[in-house]
Structure 1
């Protein structure tokens, strides 16, 4: 897997390390990002994605004309 280098403010890196309980900023950011992605996947699994909009469309039958 390819690696990416990102610069962060030291205060932000320390906050992430404390929140994630990690000893290095890189591990902390990786844990936070992985958690964020997993939450997104769980939400999509529960609610569907934007392509599922047809399921919630108003499907009431239009009144028949001529009656």
Structure 2
């Protein structure tokens, strides 16, 4: 797998480590990103993607005047 280097603010890295329960900032970011992606996939499977047309709102009939 390809490696990417990302620079983070020290406070952000510490917060990520505390939230994920890891002792390494790289592991913390990896765990949080994997969780974020898993949640996104679960949400898409439950609601469908925006492009699939199932989420498009149907037009409501306008109120008749007169």
4+ residue runs of structure 1 moved beyond 2 angstroms? 54-59
| Residue segments in structure 1 that go unaligned for 5+ positions in a row | 60-67
Q: Rg bigger for which structure?
A: 1
Counterpart for residue 17 of structure 2: 17
Counterpart for residue 45 of structure 1: 45
Equivalent pairs counted in the alignment come to 59
How much does 1:56 deviate? 4.6
TM-score by length of 1: 0.79
TM-score by length of 2: 0.80
- Please identify which structure carries the higher helix content: 1
